[in-house]
Amino acid sequence: MAGALEGIVVADFTRVLAGPYSTMLLGDMGAEVIKVERPGAGDDTRHWGPPFDPAGRATYFEAINRNKTSVAIDMTNAEGLAQAHELATRADIVIHNFPPATAKKFGLDYDSVTATNPTVVYAQITGFGSGLGAAMPGYDLLVQAMGGLMSVTGPGPGEPTKVGVALVDVITGMHATIGVLAALQHRTVTGEGQCIEVNLLSSLLSALVNQASSYVSGGAVPGILGNAHPSISPYEVYQAADRPIVIAVGNDGQFAKLCDVVGLDGVASNDKFATNTERVANRDELKVLLLEAFGKNTADHWWKALTAAGVPSGPINSIDQAFAFAESLDLKPIIDIEQDGEVRRQVANPISFSKTPVEYKSAPPELGKQT
């Protein structure tokens, strides 16, 4: 069966992470994605390593560029610009992460593209918008810092820490994909294209969800709580006899079951801990009781016992353990793409379609192979 976006052509002028992640998702859903790269250099992430795969390719680039062809176009000369414009003219989707001034210089701004392709779905990704922040460089770490994410992440107050993956780029790429798909549906109904703008800062502020709402709606500025949750308890990491375990209790019923399993008789009915609001207010006292209880056995023992009782819990896995866990649940988190006599391993797309399944047509392309 064909993918949901079969027949859709994407002119992909993006590089690094947010844009390439978005266009890979579109390619997984069946779109033809033509990735435009600089001759001799290509996407920056082709050179971001180690680690490299056995053939010497940067695993960073491999993560976000399957289901694409690569064309090497030098847009600093007239011939290259003509090639770029031709591609933009026949594409259903044009997506880039140039600074707005650069897009205009290349004749790839929205007005220029729609002059020859009026029904195009046009998406631009920036760091800080196309207005007063247009000239500011958009890098994930900068936005994690300037957008507030680091202020609520870390081991404790005064120790702001970045998230261990470029999460802002990933979230922005997802938002770009959602916008593109909505615009495609609008075009199907009306025949009209449109311009979509997504920026890293706004994407992060939206993705801060409850932490952002605590300020916007409640006037409270959240701080760092380490692994604890600002509004739920117990919802954090606890040390068992051998290693840490995560407990994610979301309601009073789950808390009562937790107390039964770990042997904290009478604690669930204690006025200090009977409701979530009281548990949050008395989280330090509750943590002492739970640490003493968890210290009497191993993390695996508690995980199995708590899971059987319906209490959300689990060990803290390394990346390899996380994949093994997913495989044990038959989630098939890794796929193999056979190409040119070589097997290339990829992380599977997490979306399952009953009618238009995800496609793995090609591994990440060699630079300029389809020029």
Strand partners, 195: 122
DSSP for 271-326, please give it. Answer: TTTSSHHHHHHTHHHHHHHHHHHHTTS-HHHHHHHHHHTT--EEE---HHHHHHHH
Which of 109, 169, 265, 271 is flagged as catalytic? 169
What whole-number distance in Å separates Cα of residue 68 and Cα of residue 42? 14
DSSP-based helix, strand, coil % in the chain, nearest 5: 40, 15, 45
Radius of gyration of the chain (CA): 24
- In terms of DSSP bridges, do strands 93-96 and 121-126 run parallel, antiparallel, or are they unpaired? parallel
**Which amino acid is present at 244?**
P
Burial class of residue 179 in the structure, from the number of CB atoms within 10 Å of its CB (0-12 exposed, 13-18 middle, 19+ buried): buried
Closest to 290 measured CA to CA, from 318, 313, 309, 307 = 313
CA distances, 13 to each of 176, 194, 203 (Å): 14, 18, 20
**Dihedral sign, CA of 200, 203, 209, 213?**
positive
Q: Which two tokens stand for residue 331?
A: 């989630």
Active-site residue flag, 28: no
The beta strand positions in the chain, using DSSP E, are 9-13, 32-37, 68-72, 93-96, 121-126, 194-199, 235-239, 244-248, 313-315, 334-339, 342-347
What whole-number distance in Å separates Cα of residue 240 and Cα of residue 222? 29
The residues that are catalytic are 169
